[in-house]
A and B are shown apart, each in its own frame.
Chain A
């Protein structure tokens, strides 16, 4: 019997089943909801069969791991070879305190580092800047100069471990500090590996830690692409991020569509500069959220791989590696509850499992206490142990893409892909990603979804355990991380000493070179490296660029 005939028979049989079996069953056991919908508002049917995936051609649309369209995995043997990198996003207080946390995490089996910077650092201000008031070390570590960078990675072998740094506006400067610090330790640029987030488009769209306007920001990013493949070949020069789009309230479909759309925008910008796609594309990486709806998340990652491979091919990429959608995942911070914080461990387990079924290359699992404060040691250790249990005990790592071929998962994967292309068309009609940002398109879409989610939660249409059902009158209290109160004072003293001890003429000279270069069209990375090597601070270096490039101001939409 051929496939068409089989699907036809299944369709007929299904219709019988609906009429004679299902309809009877729901009389005895009425359905809990009139409609079942996932977080992207996609209606979910009672059952999926080969009829729902009849348009999917295995060899063309699914294929084999490590081969186009990479739906199942970018690596042929996936976790049977190397497990994902266990990479906990961490940073608080001073560089010394955070360094201690890194050693703690590594000693408990973490396999990669991920730096969280505080707000002044994210905006390119030194710790003693007026706008840094109250923010020192609060939601990340403060890094104002290469001296802080040195303390942050004290006793960590930079040629052995990869580091991801969540930094965007001043990404080129912070990256330069990392490179310069490695060089000072005798480790050359081609031996270090890691990632800078460096994704400014999603800052305008969702996360809002932008500094410069779009045009010079895109130039800086393309500068890092070019400098990276020529000099720091093991470095991922961007992590194109949906995580923050989702945290700001988007649906999974919006996260997928806006992120891949941003990715294509970066590729086009680099190609416009004259870079060859196969030079820089192998070092593009992605970052997604893992939220509550288990299958929707899995479908999202799988769809992302297929869409990216197709789009990159269409843009002319030839190397297989240029087609790979490699990604980091973090479980959804916005899904954590301040109520009954211990139950977040269970949520995070489900979310992490979705990321692993989705084939993530690296993973951060949130700590149970993060709806209250930065994680305590105990909370972060349990979060790491969650990954280790999934990796070592559950058996889900034994085969590649274990959910591939599930009628539901394949249907949902294709559905999310279709919805993504609808968004691509919308953005195209608005003139592309940057014009759409300037028109507030993404911001409005996200705000609408966030508001709808809140309304549905408040109306008990979405159940959040411990928040709108299964509540406790008394909240259990859990210990909160305490930071070293002397950290800020030490940091400011260190900064003052650095400004006093360094060769100021040299610093001013390099800053002037940077200004001239910024006014022209040269790649700025070598100029920035000279600045940070000579102990120019983050704020001083960034101020030069602020003066030349100007600052971005957003239109607030709610």
Chain B
């Protein structure tokens, strides 16, 4: 039996916009992945702890407050520190194109903006999951 892909969908920081995170969580679940949703108001440390405890293959971060340059990068750094380099990190939200290169450099493999069909996210994860 093929192991199911395990995904943590997380909302870092104080942002309360959870429409996208919930839609993506549900779409990933419907596509056969195992999904854990953190709920709101998570610190980077809480997200990384959950990722470890749940032994996930993917962390999906959602942020619409504009704090992505700090909080996405915090999560990526902390995952690295915990030797979880093989976890695929993806992000989404209100993120200007010009921020994307720096996010990618920090380890966010892909950034999905508004208007992305959920199928694109599903297939990206299936193709790029590292473990």
Residues in chain A within 8 A of chain B (CB atoms): 119-120, 122-123, 125, 131-135, 138-139, 203, 207-209, 247-249, 334, 336-339, 371-374, 447, 450-451, 454, 457-458, 464, 466-468, 475, 477, 480, 554, 556-558
Verify B94–A135 contact, CB threshold 8 A: no
Q: How many residues of B contact A (CB 8 A)?
A: 38
Known contacts A138-B66, A451-B26; is A372 also within 8 Å of B96 by CB? yes
> How near does chain A come to B121, taking the closest CB pair, in angstroms?
11
Asked if B119 lies at the interface with its beta carbon under 8 angstroms from chain A, I say yes
Q: Which of B14, B17, B38 contacts A120 (CB 8 A)?
A: B14
Verify A558–B97 contact, CB threshold 8 A: no
> How near does chain A come to B31, taking the closest CB pair, in angstroms?
12
CB nearest to A337 among chain B residues: B115
| A410-B106 Cα distance, complex, nearest whole Å | 55
| A131-B46 Cα distance, complex, nearest whole Å | 12
CB nearest to A464 among chain B residues: B115
Q: Which of A249, A338, A371, A477 contacts B19 (CB 8 A)?
A: A249
Asked if B34 lies at the interface with its beta carbon under 8 angstroms from chain A, I say no
Verify B113–A373 contact, CB threshold 8 A: no
| A208-B13 Cα distance, complex, nearest whole Å | 12
Cβ contacts under 8 Å, B41 to chain A = 131
Verify B71–A133 contact, CB threshold 8 A: yes
CB nearest to B22 among chain A residues: A558
Asked if B129 lies at the interface with its beta carbon under 8 angstroms from chain A, I say no
CB nearest to A458 among chain B residues: B117
Asked if B128 lies at the interface with its beta carbon under 8 angstroms from chain A, I say no
Verify B16–A447 contact, CB threshold 8 A: no
Asked if B69 lies at the interface with its beta carbon under 8 angstroms from chain A, I say yes
CB nearest to A467 among chain B residues: B115
> How near does chain A come to B36, taking the closest CB pair, in angstroms?
10
Cβ contacts under 8 Å, B38 to chain A = 556
Cβ contacts under 8 Å, B22 to chain A = 447, 450-451, 557-558
> How near does chain A come to B14, taking the closest CB pair, in angstroms?
4
> How near does chain A come to B23, taking the closest CB pair, in angstroms?
5
Verify B19–A119 contact, CB threshold 8 A: no
Verify A123–B118 contact, CB threshold 8 A: no
Verify A134–B69 contact, CB threshold 8 A: yes
Cβ contacts under 8 Å, B18 to chain A = 208, 248, 556
Asked if B67 lies at the interface with its beta carbon under 8 angstroms from chain A, I say yes
| A371-B40 Cα distance, complex, nearest whole Å | 21
Cβ contacts under 8 Å, B117 to chain A = 457-458, 468
Cβ contacts under 8 Å, A554 to chain B = 39-40
Known contacts A454-B118, A464-B115, A477-B97; is A374 also within 8 Å of B40 by CB? no
Verify B37–A556 contact, CB threshold 8 A: yes
Known contacts A119-B15, A554-B40, A558-B22; is A458 also within 8 Å of B98 by CB? no
Cβ contacts under 8 Å, A338 to chain B = 113-115
> How near does chain B come to A139, taking the closest CB pair, in angstroms?
5
> How near does chain A come to B48, taking the closest CB pair, in angstroms?
15
* 28 A-B residue pairings within 8 Å (CB atoms): A131-B41, A133-B71, A134-B13, A135-B14, A135-B70, A139-B66, A209-B14, A209-B16, A248-B18, A338-B115, A372-B96, A372-B97, A372-B113, A374-B66, A447-B22, A450-B19, A450-B23, A451-B27, A454-B23, A457-B117, A464-B115, A466-B115, A468-B117, A554-B39, A556-B18, A556-B37, A557-B22, A558-B37
CB nearest to B9 among chain A residues: A558
| A317-B18 Cα distance, complex, nearest whole Å | 38
Verify B94–A372 contact, CB threshold 8 A: yes
| A464-B117 Cα distance, complex, nearest whole Å | 12
Q: Mark B4-25, 1 if CB is under 8 A from A, else 0.
A: 0000000001111111011101
Q: Which of B26, B43, B114 contacts A337 (CB 8 A)?
A: B114
| A148-B46 Cα distance, complex, nearest whole Å | 32
| A480-B97 Cα distance, complex, nearest whole Å | 10
* 19 more A-B residue pairs beyond the given contacts A135-B14, A139-B64, A247-B19, with a C-beta to C-beta distance below 8 A: A122-B14, A133-B71, A134-B13, A134-B74, A138-B65, A208-B18, A372-B96, A372-B97, A373-B94, A450-B22, A450-B23, A451-B22, A454-B27, A458-B117, A464-B115, A554-B40, A558-B22, A558-B23, A558-B26
> How near does chain B come to A351, taking the closest CB pair, in angstroms?
17
9 tightest A-B CB contacts, nearest first? A134-B70, A208-B16, A556-B39, A138-B66, A119-B14, A558-B22, A134-B67, A467-B115, A458-B117
Known contacts A134-B13, A458-B119; is A248 also within 8 Å of B19 by CB? yes
> How near does chain A come to B79, taking the closest CB pair, in angstroms?
17
> How near does chain B come to A330, taking the closest CB pair, in angstroms?
15
Known contacts A131-B14, A207-B16, A209-B16; is A480 also within 8 Å of B39 by CB? no
> How near does chain B come to A347, taking the closest CB pair, in angstroms?
13
Q: Mark B61-81, 1 if CB is under 8 A from A, else 0.
A: 000111101110010000000
Q: Which of A132, A371, A458, A467 contacts B118 (CB 8 A)?
A: A458
| A398-B19 Cα distance, complex, nearest whole Å | 39
Name the interface residues of B78-99: CB closer than 8 Å to any CB of A. Answer: 94-98
CB nearest to A483 among chain B residues: B66
> How near does chain A come to B73, taking the closest CB pair, in angstroms?
9
| A13-B18 Cα distance, complex, nearest whole Å | 51
